[in-house]
Amino acid sequence: MLQTSVSVHFDAIEKTIEDIMELKKINPDINPQLGISLQACLLQIVGYRNLIADVEKLRREPYDSDNPQHEEMLLKLWKFLKPDTPLESRISKQWCEIGFQGDDPKTDFRGMGLLGLYNLQYFAERDATAAQQVLSDSLHPKCSKFSKAEWEKKRMDKAIGYSFAIVGINITDLAYNLLVSGALKTHFYNIAPEAPTLSHFQQTFCYLMHEFHKFWIEEDPMDIMEFNRVREKFRKRIIKQLQNPDMALCPHFAASEGLINM
């Protein structure tokens, strides 16, 4: 019964807890808190499994340029990131300005499907100021670290940036793998009093984007070819943090104000 309880439907959780307590001969009148605690724990466990299913569904759904909803989300992403710059046409070199590889972003979503677009739009919409700042800094990240005088003193002749959208899709892949592997259980069980939702996952993505950006600047790579090295080092740091049972990844910006601030 315990083994199958983690796969029950949300609506069956309360009945499942009653069955477990009856099987274990636990009197709810003598120990009322146990049933409440068990129910809360099972709600989180079942919720985590359902969240994986929801995320996987988005990841497996390819971007379809004939789908009006997909196209609307993509155009909104541009609007949120570049509010003062109109997009001249749907197929345009302008997409490179926000970090896509070519003139049609749909080809860049192949690896993560709609999940990549969902995450990017969430970040750009829910925390527009931070997203626009990260986009700006990604073009010249070292400029945000040094003052003009320090820049001239160090005689830096170039700034090593990265492609915002492509990195966002890559960080989506990181968040997805942390979720599926179970590494994010620590985080979600500590921040979600009930079942973790897709919004919790997207807030976690925002946090990872924010932290990766700072990490990239700290690492000071020689060129973009060091991306995989920096990303792997960042991944190991996040996993190490999540090994602490009391750990909750703690975003400090508006997109994740619903998370517990430890």
Round to the nearest angstrom and report the end-to-end CA distance of the chain: 35
- Flag whether pLDDT at 181 surpasses 80: yes
Tens of pLDDT, residues 117-174: 999 999 999 989 999 999 998 886 544 455 555 545 444 444 578 999 999 999 999 9
Tens of pLDDT, residues 14-26: 898 888 888 988 8
Which of the listed residues 45, 60, 75 is the one where a domain comes to its end?
A: 60
40 and 169 assigned to the same domain = no
Q: How far is CA 134 from CA 71, 107, 162, 202, 208, in A?
A: 24, 23, 11, 17, 12
116 and 43 assigned to the same domain = no
> What is the value of pTM for the model shown?
0.84
51 and 74 assigned to the same domain = no
Q: What is the pLDDT of residue 254?
A: 34
**45-49, 226-230, 246-250: least confident range:** 246-250
Q: Is residue 32 in some structural domain?
A: yes
Q: Is residue 174 in some structural domain?
A: yes
Q: What is the pLDDT of residue 54?
A: 96
32 and 96 assigned to the same domain = no
7 by Cβ neighbours in 10 Å (0-12 / 13-18 / 19+) ranks as exposed
Q: Is residue 50 in some structural domain?
A: yes
Q: What is the pLDDT of residue 156?
A: 47
137 and 235 assigned to the same domain = yes
> What pLDDT band is residue 55 in, cutting at 50, 70 and 90?
very high
Q: Is residue 259 in some structural domain?
A: no
Range of the domain at 235: 64-243
40 and 87 assigned to the same domain = no
Rounded Cα gap, residues 230 and 209, in angstroms: 13
Q: Is residue 124 in some structural domain?
A: yes
Which of the listed residues 60, 82, 106 is the one where a domain comes to its end?
A: 60
Q: Is residue 78 in some structural domain?
A: yes
215 and 115 assigned to the same domain = yes
**22-31, 178-187, 230-239: least confident range:** 22-31
93 and 15 assigned to the same domain = no
15 and 115 assigned to the same domain = no
By C-alpha distance, which of 23, 100, 18, 8 is closest to 63? 100
Which of the listed residues 35, 60, 85 is the one where a domain comes to its end?
A: 60
84 and 30 assigned to the same domain = no
SS (H, E, C) the chain: CHHHHCCCCHHHHHHHHHHHHHHCCCCCCCCHHHHHHHHHHHHHHHHHHHHHHHHHHHHHCCCCCCCHHHHHHHHHHHHHHCCCCCCCCCCCHHHHHHCCCCCCHHHHHCCCCHHHHHHHHHHHHHCHHHHHHHHHHHHCHHHHCCCHHHHHHHCCCCCCCCCHHHHHHHHHHHHHHHHHHCCCHHHHHHHCCCCCCHHHHHHHHHHHHHHHHHHHHHHCCCCHHHHHHHHHHHHHHHHHHHCCCCCCCCCCCHHHCCCCCC
Q: Is residue 254 in some structural domain?
A: no
239 and 117 assigned to the same domain = yes
Q: Is residue 253 in some structural domain?
A: no
216 and 117 assigned to the same domain = yes
Tens of pLDDT, residues 67-101: 999 999 999 999 999 999 999 999 999 999 999 99
Number of domains in the chain: 2
Tens of pLDDT, residues 184-233: 999 999 888 888 999 999 999 999 999 999 999 888 888 888 999 999 99
